Amino acid sequence: MENAVVIDRLTKKFGDFTAVDEIGLTVQKGEIFGFLGANGAGKTTAIRMLCGLLLPTSGSGSVGGFDIYKETERIKKSIGYMSQKFSLYQDLTGDENLWFYGSVYQIPRRDLRKRMEELTETLGLSEFTNRPAGSLPVGWRQRLALATALLHRPKILFLDEPTAGIDPVFRRRFWEILYRLADEGTTLFVTTHYMDEAEFCRRISIMHQGKIIEVGKPQDLIARYDQPNLQETFITLISQEGGNG
């Protein structure tokens, strides 16, 4: 099977501080990969390097087959990115937000209208697209943000805490959408603080103080550390490592 994300000894230093310390990972195509870690573990820095927003200090990596040093422009065309801030223009309507990002991604005009309709339909957003994004309840805003990240049909989708501040019902529905996307072949690279969500991932990695300390299937990790669930496994792992976990 093809690999969507491959990184090896990837490192990012800010002055004396090493935010990401020689991490290595392989994410397969169509996989839902959970990228876990405590706050300040270096997850966001790692994701920013993968999305072409930040140049690594050393190490190598490729996303969708493109080099993260030299081919950032091609990476940007093939990935979608949704951050916890749901970066929408609050004073524009849902439709206008979608239209704007669609234009920026150079989606042919004829297709854009159709794709907008399809996406809002599948995400159950149709009734909300005429309202300013800022006036939508947070759950709908999150779906709108997802829609803007999906318009150009990215092969790999990076989701940085996409469910922060969302109620459990919405979270569950949101994950149903993510599953459907994965079934259709999209690779999902997700960070989350919710361990129940992490269990939905096919594989997870746990990051601590810039290093990846464990990678595997959630149930394997739970078994290996002999814990009742992923939450306890995570806490055990972080406390073993010590530091500011």
Partner 1 sequence: MVRTILALMKKEFLQVIRDSNMLRMVFLMPIVQLFLLGYVASTDVKLISTAVYDDDRSGLSREYVRSLSAGEYFITDTPEISLLEAERGFRESRYEVALIIPRGFSRKLQESKQVKIGLMVDGTNANSASIALGYANVITRQFNERVTGFSPPITLRQKRLYNPEGESVYFMVPGIVATLLTMITMLLTSMAIVREREIGTLEQLMVTPISATALILGKTIPFALIGFLEMSVALFLGVTWFRIPFAGSWGLLYALSFLFLFTTLGTGMFISTISTTQQQAMFLTWFFAIFAIMTSGFFAPIANMPRSIQYLTYLNPLRYFMTTVRGIMMKGASLDVLYPQVMAMIIFGITIFTFSWLRFSKRVK
Question: Among residues 13, 29, 77, 113, which is the contact residue for partner 1, using CB under 8 A?
Answer: 77
Nearest to 82 by CA among 157, 168, 183, 173: 157
79 forms part of the interface with partner 1 (CB under 8 A)? yes
100 binds partner 1 (CB under 8 A): yes
| 116 touches partner 1 (CB under 8 A) | no
Dihedral angle, C-alpha 128, 180, 191, 241, nearest 10 °: 150
Give Cβ neighbours of residue 55 (< 8 Å, ≥ 6 apart): 49, 69
Q: What is the CA radius of gyration of the chain?
A: 18
In the list 45, 62, 83, 205, the residue contacting partner 1 (rule: CB under 8 A) is 83
Binding residues among 140-199 for partner 1 as defined by CB under 8 A: 148
Q: What DSSP character marks residue 126?
A: G
**Paired residues of 157 in beta bridges:** 80, 188
Q: How many CB atoms lie within 10 A of CB 195?
A: 18
Cβ 228 to partner 1 shortest distance, Å: 37
Which of 8, 14, 87, 121 touches partner 1 by CB under 8 A?
Answer: 87
Between 28 and 72, name the residue whose CB sits nearer to partner 1.
72
Q: Which residues of this protein are in contact with partner 1, per CB under 8 A?
A: 51-53, 73, 76-77, 79, 81, 83, 85, 87-92, 96, 99-101, 103-106, 132, 148
